[in-house]
Amino acid sequence: MQLLDQLSLGFATALGAANLLAALLGCLLGTVVGVLPGIGPVAAIALLLPATYALAPVSALILLAGVYYGAQYAGSTPAILLDLPGEPSSDVTRLDGHQMTLHGRAGPALGAAALASFVAGCFATALLALAAQPLTRLGYLFGPVEYAALLVLALVGVVALASGSLFKALAMAVLGLLLGLVGNDPLSGATRFAFDIPELSEGIGFVALAIGIYAIGEVIANMSKPQHQVELLDVSLRGRWPGRQELAEIWPALLRGTLLGSLLGLMPGGGALLASFSAYALEKRVAPRVGAAPFGKGNIRGVVAPESANNAGAQMAFLPLLALGIPPNAVMALLLGALWLRGIAPGAQLIAGNPALFWGLVASMWIGNLLLLVLNLPLAGLWLRLVRVPYGLLAPLLVVLGALGAYLVHQRSFEVWLVAGFGALGYVFVLLRTDPAPLLLGCILAPALEDNLRRSLAGSGGKWSVFVTQPVAAGLLGAAALVLLVLLFKPRRATMA
């Protein structure tokens, strides 16, 4: 009964005019971001953060969430039709999806992807609603010692799943922590790491960092690549859904992908990308139906499994963020920073102290999944025309929006210089094939990690042994150490995902 009351509050919040418009706008922008390669939800959300300050917190969160899961939903359209994934998480979808297009079966591929995304998104949202209260009760048991250990595990998780070498990922995490400590010491008030630059006494704003590293850095990298003209396909509404036999075949794959994606979405460093690749690898181990196309040659399960997993993973990633205050990936780290800037602290107190925000977001996800189904499937041909827009026309707009957004946060020109500097650094990271996700997460988590670490040591009389004598903290730190040990003896991917 309590859950029904909470969901009733959520739908009453989400169906308000402002929040309904925010959901529609978020899904619309997410669709554009998903269709257009080279932008990505992290860069898009970073660019949108300054604009959301004028919105109520729940409307801002609904809008930014819609951009994230909307991008995962729409990334399959160019992947299937053009062999050009709009999102990294859709890269594996193109292996079988585009083969289906080449065999004249683009309609069933698009329909299967849309069905998988919709069902998985709705299921993951329901699971999020059911798991929120138990996870919140667990959060009440966490003190400063446990939270400090949990933050360390979150950082290690992102390092573990970052592409490239382990050394680079660890270096990025440490650099992020150092950047997050720039500014005034919270206890003594002394300025640290500011190098006599007055503007740095207030710290490095994560908005300028995110816009520079992700948005401007990616713009520079994309402009340095040759731009290819794509051929438009005639996408009709006829034959858009799989046949009856294929529908019976894809349901087990959809269920497996949804469950796996929901689980991986909870993990530090998890989310849509890890979920989609893992689901595809799992599906290849399941024997195909007799007479079905092999994987990589147009098997419809190769479309359904990753698309269900990436949407489930994207939506389940909100649970550790809101219930425990732990962002499992770069997008959630941005949303964590956005909430902190609004004076909202995610964690065990959020659901009880601000139920309209949490349950309004949950209800908006069901609404958003329905909106995405309407926006994507019938309008696939329209969205594909966006791919033909020259990137040279989009790049100046993205740069101007990034600089303007960073300026509006604190209304000082120094932020624009920060964006430019971090943009150049972001391009260097691209050249070095270094994933910046650990840097962003480290910068955002640094103040919370420092605060909980200091409180832990103050409560224990300065004894570091408190982190091994507390069972939960010891278990979390042990898990982090185990992950690092495994990584030392496991080959890493050499390229960015």
The segment with the largest mean pLDDT, out of 16-20, 35-39, 83-87, 245-249, is 16-20
**Using alpha carbons only, what angle is made at residue 152 by residues 147 and 158, rounded to the nearest 5 degrees?**
125
Indicate the helix (H) or strand (E) that contains 179. helix 166-180
**Using alpha carbons only, what angle is made at residue 356 by residues 66 and 128, rounded to the nearest 5 degrees?**
60
pLDDT at 424 over 70: yes
- Distant-in-sequence, close-in-space partners of 391: CB < 8 Å, separation ≥ 6: 38, 222, 223, 227
pLDDT score of 495? 40
- Closest C-alpha to 113, from 213, 283, 242, 273: 242
Average pLDDT on 71-83 reads 81
Mean pLDDT taken over the chain: 81
CA distance 442 to 434: 15
Q: At how many degrees (to 10) do helices 40-48 and 391-410 cross?
A: 40
N residues, the chain: 497
Q: At how many degrees (to 10) do helices 244-265 and 272-284 cross?
A: 130
The segment with the largest mean pLDDT, out of 132-146, 171-185, 213-227, is 171-185
Total Cβ atoms within 10 A of residue 234: 6
CA distance 372 to 295: 27
Average pLDDT on 212-223 reads 83
Q: What is the pLDDT of residues 364-411, one digit of tens each?
A: 999 998 998 888 776 766 666 666 677 777 788 888 888 888 887 777
Q: What is the pLDDT of residues 114-170, one digit of tens each?
A: 888 889 989 999 998 888 878 777 767 788 888 888 888 888 877 876 766 778 888
Place of tokens 């730190």: 477
DSSP string, 386-449: GGGS-HHHHHHHHHHHHHHHHHHHHT-THHHHHHHHHHHHHHHHHHTT---HHHHHHHHHHHHH
CA distance 284 to 246: 17
Least confidently predicted of 45-54, 185-194, 461-470: 185-194
Least confidently predicted of 6-10, 160-164, 283-287, 446-450: 160-164
- Percent share of the chain, pLDDT over 70: 87
- Provide the token pair at 451: 């605060």
pLDDT at 88 over 80: no
Q: Are 265 and 315 within 8 A, CB to CB?
A: yes
CA distance 430 to 55: 33
pLDDT at 226 over 70: no
Higher pLDDT, 60 or 137: 60
Average pLDDT on 250-258 reads 88
Q: What is the pLDDT of residues 443-497, one digit of tens each?
A: 888 888 888 888 898 888 888 888 888 888 888 899 888 888 877 776 544 443 3
- Percent share of the chain, pLDDT over 90: 8
Average pLDDT on 9-28 reads 92
Average pLDDT on 318-332 reads 82
Average pLDDT on 211-216 reads 85
How would you class 141 by CB atoms within 10 Å of its CB: exposed for 0-12, middle for 13-18, buried for 19 or more?
exposed
Distance of CA 104 to the CA centre of its chain: 33
pLDDT at 20 over 90: yes
pLDDT confidence band for 227 (50 / 70 / 90): low
pLDDT score of 472? 85
End-to-end CA distance of the chain: 44
pLDDT score of 147? 85
Indicate the helix (H) or strand (E) that contains 184. strand 183-184
pLDDT at 21 over 90: yes
Handedness of CA 323, 324, 330, 334 (dihedral sign): positive
Place of tokens 């402009």: 223
Torsion of CA 117, 274, 452, 211, to 10 degrees: -80
**φ, ψ of residue 297 in degrees (nearest 5):** -125, 15
pLDDT score of 409? 73
Higher pLDDT, 426 or 222: 426
CA distance 23 to 26: 5
Average pLDDT on 256-274 reads 78
